[in-house]
Chains A and B, each alone.
Chain A
Amino acid sequence: MIQLLTPEGQRMHRREDQQYADIAAELSDEDLRGMYRDLVLIRRIDAEANALQRQGELGIWVSLLGQEAAQVGCGRALRPQDYAFPTYREHGVAWCRGVDPLNLLGLFRGVNHGGWDPNEKNFHLYTIVIGAQALHATGYAMGVNLDGAVATGDPERDTAVIAFFGDGATSQGDVNESFVFAAVHNAPVVFFCQNNQWAISEPNDRQTRIPLYQRARGFGFPGLRVDGNDVLASYAVSKAMLDRARDGQGPSFIEAFTYRMAAHTTSDDPSKYRVSAEVETWKLRDPILRFKAYLAHEGKADAAYFATIDAEADEMATYVRSGCLSMPDPPGTLMFDHVYAEPHAQLAAQRAEFVAYQAGFEGAH
């Protein structure tokens, strides 16, 4: 497993990880502080959304607690022209792409099914069907190839695509088919698997007999396992594989080894299937504490900086809360409005019936 930081926040210097250490070494102090800020803010956004669900303001929430470093490390390695295809838990990647956190809430509040413009930040809509987005990412990457937007040497043009999924999704046919298509087409796609150890209640051994990253070899491309709670390692490995894709060397697979600290969703009860000792063990590997210790120890940030970020996190929480509470319910006609691009006689007739029916209630009381 590729690691650059110990769980205590000490810099590691293993020879086999040197190429990734070199990539991380290119990060400026400002970059490092920015990473820390991302980690703290997205955890705070997540916590606030969780609270909003508990208070009935969201129908459900899918927490990323514990997976911040995997997502922020990877998210920060993406370039503007790259395209990301998330699951429904990639709040940290969304944040790194510049997607307004309020956009993520609509789906969970039930005012839309996503609704943001994916092309604005090259961040696709959340996909709920497990693993389906891996094929969309692969097809998109095949399109990038057709456009000739790889291996031109122009860093503003060469494009990588990234597909996010979890350990459970590796059992899906779609994920395996996407490996086949990506390999055959040498598509510039990185498969980023956050192995958070649990697919709702099913542990890894219900999905696989071998470490997941080893599967890649059978499909004909490299697979790497990185410590997903080490933001520097996640960044460096992601950057290396994204660069590889942009350079025309095709697909790769990253298994970010991490842990889902919270329930699968707010509807889940992990006490029924996992022991608290396991959670306690992973708490000691917390991605934010580790990175904070590193920054402090290396003198990259001081107490005043950490306090600033905490204050900013509180402001962000207020923004998320007030934005959520003021999110209006859409009109009922919304359900008809974006089904087709071109006129559809039956739907138009049904919409008119709906409007007339609703109008019949006006003033009825």
Chain B
Amino acid sequence: MATTTIAKALNAGLRRAMEADPKVILCGEDIGKLGGVFRVTEGLQKDFGEERVMDSPLAESGIVGTAIGMALRGYRPVVEIQFDGFVYPAFDHIVSQVAKMRSRALGHVQLPMVIRIPVGGGIGAVEHHSESNEAYFAHTAGLRVVAISNPADAYWLIQEAIAADDPVVFYEPKRRYWDKGELDETHRGVPPMSQASVVRTGSDVTVACYGPMVKTCLQAAQAAAEEGTSLEVIDLRSLSPLDLDTVAASVERTGRLVTVHEASGFLGIGAEVAAQVQQRCFYSLEAPVIRVTGYDVPYPPSRIEEDFLPDLDRVLDAVDRSLAY
């Protein structure tokens, strides 16, 4: 067991995947000598060569479109999108080709590729560098969507995503890249990629979150505990499929659910979780499901982003509102 960061765990996971399978190749902007703007691919080009760690022309549609072709040739491309807000030029390929090609071919082809996207705000960035666009991709049949929150998941799930025969959109919480956590590279102690994980047990209110909000919610749970309220925190991890069994089992015990994400609330992941939980847990619910989300606005300028982003207080406020029923 060692302490490491999410960025370093991703780097180690990518390295291990490349060692395990020569068909794994990385492509993206500035991922070679620079090691990516977040240094997730640091040192990989030096060790695996320019053919397997490709600095791509600056064209996201081209990056994903050519990755599709490489996957058709038998490779397992791992694409880095430099920032969340830059994925849209590739949106057509992800939605119309990556997601649909297997179905179009009646299973005769598959696209085992991973699209890594640093996601979310809180880093004081300019526009287009702080977005949370996971709902677009979770809404798209044919894709798997994963959002990691800690180094152990970073290390194991990136390998699992690469080994998967389905395309995976892999969200990395950019403001947490340098957060530290435990990682045992010799023993996989984390659940499969498609499962949610109860990261803190509790009895009063279930809090379902993912990605960068997991840390926020764990801090909220700590604060709540000091005031005598017991929160159960679930890290959803997989956004498509959603592991609603784990959420429903928790809500059946607590009777209350708060969902938390940075993305705008309207038609977001929280809305889907709320809809499904009210169907499955109608007789167990003591209060309406409450969503804590970014507002339904374009991501704001950085000087007011803290007003947009859910934080510990907004989570606790939602918990209080839930308990008030």
Contact = CB atoms under 8 A, between A and B. Distances in A.
Interface in B59-115: 59, 61-62, 65-75, 89, 92-93, 96-97, 100-110, 112
Nearest to B52: A146
B51 interface: yes
B241 interface: yes
Contacts of B97: 127, 129, 132, 136
Contacts, number: 155
Nearest to A139: B69
Given A142-B69, A180-B62, A344 B103 contact: no
Interface in A117-142: 117-119, 124-125, 127, 129, 132, 134-142
Interface string A316-347: 00000000000000000011011111111111
Contacts of A341: 102, 107, 110, 112, 164-166
B179 to A, nearest CB: 29
Given A129-B96, A132-B96, A143-B75, A177 B69 contact: no
Contact of A173 (B61, B110, B142): B61
Interface residues of B, number: 48
Interface residues of A, number: 46
Given A117-B108, A132-B97, A139 B70 contact: yes
Contact of A146 (B51, B108, B242): B51
A144 interface: yes
A346 B108 contact: no
Contacts of B71: 139
Per DSSP, chain A at the interface is: helix
Nearest to A179: B62
Nearest to A180: B57
B147 interface: no
Contact of A125 (B61, B67, B101, B165): B101
A113 B166 contact: no
B110 A345 contact: no
Highest count of chain A CB atoms <10 Å: which of B66, B142, B166, B244: B66
B70 A114 contact: no
Contact of B105 (A125, A142, A180): A125
11 contacts: A113-B100, A117-B109, A118-B105, A118-B108, A129-B97, A135-B68, A143-B73, A177-B59, A339-B141, A344-B241, A347-B141
Given A136-B69, A138-B66, A180-B62, 7 more contacts: A112-B104, A113-B100, A139-B66, A181-B59, A338-B107, A341-B102, A341-B112
Interface of B: 25, 51, 56-57, 59, 61-62, 65-75, 89, 92-93, 96-97, 100-110, 112, 141-142, 144, 164-166, 194, 240-245
Interface of A: 112-119, 124-125, 127, 129, 132, 134-144, 146-147, 173-174, 177-178, 180-181, 184, 334-335, 337-347
